[in-house]
Amino acid sequence: MEIKKENRQWLDAMNLAHPIVIAGPCSAETEEQVLKTAHELKNTDTNVFRAGIWKPRTRPGGFEGVGAIGLPWLQKVKEETGMLVTTEVGNANHVELALKHGIDILWIGARTTVNPFVVQEIADALKGVDIPVLVKNPVNPDLPLWLGAVERFQTAGISQLGVIHRGFSTYNSMFYRNKPKWHLAIELKKEFPDLPLILDPSHICGRRDIILDVSQTALDLNYDGFMIETHIDPDKAWSDAKQQVTPADLQKITENLKIRQKSSSKEEFQLKLAMHRKELDLIDSTIIDVLGDRMGIAKEIGKLKHKENVAILQSGRWSDIIAKMVEDGKEKGLSKDFVEEIFRAIHVESIHVQHQNK
Ligand code: PEP
Ligand code: MN
């Protein structure tokens, strides 16, 4: 896949002074709710109004969207506020209806991106139409699957593209609703720097209080903008109530974001430096996370060995581990001394943890 500057014309042509802001309710509920939210958003940094018309709920019984009757409400939003409008399409029929009602931008939901058959069906339904399509990451952390969906649209002749990072579902996530796994988006950004990358902090956070923080991380990583769920009365929303914010709170979030301007080569340097530092911070947190998990397993082994009365130090196994890690490290360009030093330290701590957990 080749992504060029032309593929981001839809965004560049807007000539925005700040990252793009796509905002609006998770779901269109009533005409009044849609229009009220849109009129309040008109006075914020919002550039594009979003609302889900067809809602892919994980289990039946939840609110599955108002369906096609909501499309004229979005048309009204456009006429009355001048904002562009976007909605999620999940099959060829949605595409046909959305196009008939003048929707400006389409997005592909996380549960659709996982299914190449459906993505292809939607791409085929778009043949001959060149409307911007934004592809959300699949629910599972699979970069080729995400890129594969973008590729299907490109092959079908869609030239205006973008991706939305909405996080990845995990079993039992406490802090986030969907873990960001930033490294996947960083990898994507590195490989396709011209492909617009938009953060959806609402579905990552699943709650309001950390939206600003998560959005700032994205800005520091040079994302192009945000899609943030916004509702006139969030607590009463028919879907995703906990994560939606009021238009006034959305404005507070966008005003509090520290946007770094790039105007000189020196600032460009500062910007890149800040971005790489952020990447390092995220990797360092991952290292701590993984080491914590590793020591957790060492604890269990300590208990097992104690029960069976087996010696904790099994030096043969450790020489094998270190030899294997030195080999793996070579492939990553890591020196033998460095890898040995790290794994010795891990070994010492591991023995210590096992002793403590007899
Ligand atoms: C949404 O944007 O409301 C939505 C359903 O998102 P996702 O596909 O990311 O779950
Ligand atoms: Mn939602």
Spans of all domains in the chain: 5-256, 267-356
Which tokens hold the place of 196?
Answer: 């617009």
The bound ligand whose nearest atom lies closest to the alpha carbon of 234 is 2
Note the pLDDT of residue 128.
93
- pLDDT of res. 344: 87
**Choices 3.60.20.10, 3.30.310.80, 1.10.10.10, 1.20.59.10: CATH for 267-356:** 1.20.59.10
CATH class in words for 5-256: alpha beta
Q: Is the CB of 199 under 6 A from ligand 1?
A: no
Dihedral sign for Cα 229, 84, 51, 232, please: positive
Amino acid found at 316: G
Does the C-beta of 19 come closer than 6 Å to ligand 1? no
What's the pTM value of the predicted model, to 2 decimals?
A: 0.82
* pLDDT for res 266: 77
Give me the pLDDT at residue 311, please: 80
Dist CA 57 CA 60 (whole Å): 7
User: What does the pLDDT read at residue 261?
Assistant: 65
- To which H or E segment does residue 122 belong? helix 116-125
Question: Is 166 a pocket residue for ligand 1 (Cβ < 6 Å)?
Answer: yes
* pLDDT on residue 319: 87
Ligand 1 lined by 203 (C-beta under 6 Å): yes
Which candidate, 30, 160, 40, 171, places its Cα nearest to that of 104? Answer: 160
Ligand 1 atom closest to the Cα of residue 112 is 8
Residue nearest to atom 9 of ligand 1 (CA): 110
pLDDT at 132: 98
* 130 Cβ contact partners less than 8 Å away, ≥ 6 residues apart: 157, 158, 159, 160
| pLDDT in the model for residue 317 | 85
Q: 278 CA distance to ligand 1 centroid (A)?
A: 27
Q: How far is the CA of 111 from the centre of ligand 1 (A)?
A: 8
Fold agreement between 5-256 and 267-356: no
Annotate 23-39 with b (16+ C-beta within 10 A) or e (fewer): bbbbbbbeeebbbebbe
Per-run averaged pLDDT (10 residues), the chain, 358 residues? 95 96 98 98 97 89 93 98 98 98 98 98 96 98 97 96 96 88 92 96 98 96 96 97 98 92 72 85 90 90 86 81 92 89 89 82
Nearest residue to 281 (alpha-carbon basis) of 198, 213, 210: 213
